[in-house]
Amino acid sequence: MVSPQVIDEGFVVTDAAQVSRPPSPFQKVADKAFRRLCWGLAWLSVLLVAFIVLRIATSAVPAVRQYGLDFLSGTTWDPNKEQYGILPEIWGTLYSSLLALLIGTAFGVAAAIFLSEGYLGQFVFQTLKVWNLQLHPLWGKLPDQMEGLLKNLIELLAAIPSVVYGLWGLFVVIPLIRPACNWLHMKMGWFALFGTDLSGPGMLPAVMVLSIMILPTITAISRDALVSVPSKIRMAAYGLGATRWEAILAVILPTAARGVFGGVVLAFGRALGETMALAMLVGNANKISLSLFSPANTLAALLANSFPEAHPKEIGVLMYAALVLLGITLLVNVIGSAILQRASAGLEGGK
């Protein structure tokens, strides 16, 4: 500890003018310049977004004029005949994203409940109790550590680059599910979902990998929403004699519903714009099919595959497709973040 005398001495020798003096002209200019710089860079990031949208839109204008709305309903893509239509891609984008969302939400929300209700911590605690170690200084921390580890593991799913998921899907998922898919097609081919056989890349492997990729988003946001449910509400439900799942289904999930829903919408936005895993796994076939095993295409995969070797005329058309993708994802993302904002505002009011 510093004794008061030392501080006193320090002040005695120092001239008051040296401790504090008005800013010099240079400092005033530097201050103004720095503030202007921050202001300017803040504007720059806004202008960047505007510029991106404008740049894509203006590049698409010639194609929009030439093909109009027929572009959205056309089903052929033939650069030689200059016939372009992206209905199969729009269908593939929505179909794959919705299916992935279905699987991802089921597993993501389940994982969020598992994490927020302390199942793992309780399990580890009970196991430790068998050896009477639950209050041990070292082992007693294990329940919390395991919960943290599980949360990090699920977040790790989001850290793996999508191209690695694509590689994994190509060499692990497709060979793994192919026999089962072809058996399903043989036995139940009359059912629209199993209408074709899986001859390599196709909708189902793409959807499976896509749902794994959006799961961490759903889990992270849902877990935040579930954890922030006021504990008073939780305790009230248990106090009335509700079982754990009666409390979850009737009280906790409805209270956190908006947050969970916002997370699902944001994950939908991510699924719509996901490119690499789909470009590698979906098969790039210009087809509209209900079958899970048929190859298909998505807007993002179309852009990824056609852009590198497109000739100048095709570029304009691809810009039009990019504009459509931009419109869809912007809409979904703005809706998602609006829901999340209202969800957190609603919970703060209820505390």
Partner 1 sequence: MPQEALVGQQGDLFPPDMNPFEGVDFSGLERSLRRPRTLVSVLLSGLVTAMTLLALIPLFSVVWMLVWRGGRKLSLALLTQLPPAPLEQGGGVGNAIVGTLIIILLATAISIPIGVLSAVFLTQAKTGNRLADVVRFAAKVLTGFPSILAGVFAYGAVVLVTGGFSAIAGAVAVSILMLPTIMLTAEDALRMVPWRMQEAAIGMGATPAQTAWMVLLPTAIPGILTGIMLAVARGAGETAPLLFTALFSNYWPISRGHLHLMRPTPSLAVLIYNFAGMPFENQVELAWAAALVLVLLVLVANLVGQSLSRRQVRE
Site for partner 1 in 308-327 (CB under 8 A): 308, 318-319, 322, 325-326
Q: How far is the CB of 99 from partner 1 (least distance, A)?
A: 16
> Of 63-71, 94-102, 231-239, 334-342, which part binds partner 1 (CB under 8 A)?
334-342
Distance from C-alpha of 39 to C-alpha of 46, rounded to nearest angstrom: 11
Q: Is 7 an interacting residue with respect to partner 1 (CB under 8 A)? A: no
Helix (H, G, I), strand (E, B) or coil at 190: coil
Q: Is 175 an interacting residue with respect to partner 1 (CB under 8 A)? A: no
Q: How far is the CB of 135 from partner 1 (least distance, A)?
A: 25
Q: Is 192 an interacting residue with respect to partner 1 (CB under 8 A)? A: no
275 with 162: CB under 8 angstroms? yes
Span 240-279, contacts to partner 1 by CB under 8 A: 241, 243-246, 248, 266, 269-270, 272-276, 279
Distance from C-alpha of 279 to C-alpha of 169, rounded to nearest angstrom: 11
Tokens of 146: 């395991």
b/e 105-144 (16+ beta carbons within 10 angstroms → b) = bebbbebbbbbbbeebbeebbeebeeeeebeeeeeeebbe
Burial of 186 per CB tally in 10 Å (0-12, 13-18, 19+): exposed
Span 193-222, contacts to partner 1 by CB under 8 A: 212, 215
Q: Which residue has the tokens 């079958």?
A: 291
Which residue lies nearer to partner 1 by CB, 256 or 318?
318
Position among 41, 69, 130, 135 found at the interface with partner 1 (CB under 8 A): 41
Which residue lies nearer to partner 1 by CB, 222 or 291?
222
Which residue lies nearer to partner 1 by CB, 193 or 304?
304
Q: Is 304 an interacting residue with respect to partner 1 (CB under 8 A)? A: yes
Q: Is 56 an interacting residue with respect to partner 1 (CB under 8 A)? A: yes
Q: Is 102 an interacting residue with respect to partner 1 (CB under 8 A)? A: no
Q: How far is the CB of 156 from partner 1 (least distance, A)?
A: 6
Helix (H, G, I), strand (E, B) or coil at 76: coil
Distance from C-alpha of 303 to C-alpha of 275, rounded to nearest angstrom: 9
Under 8 Å CB-to-CB from 82, ≥6 apart: which residues? Answer: 313
Q: Is 300 an interacting residue with respect to partner 1 (CB under 8 A)? A: yes
Span 61-100, contacts to partner 1 by CB under 8 A: none
Closest CA to 127 of 101, 108, 146, 110: 146
Q: How far is the CB of 292 from partner 1 (least distance, A)?
A: 18
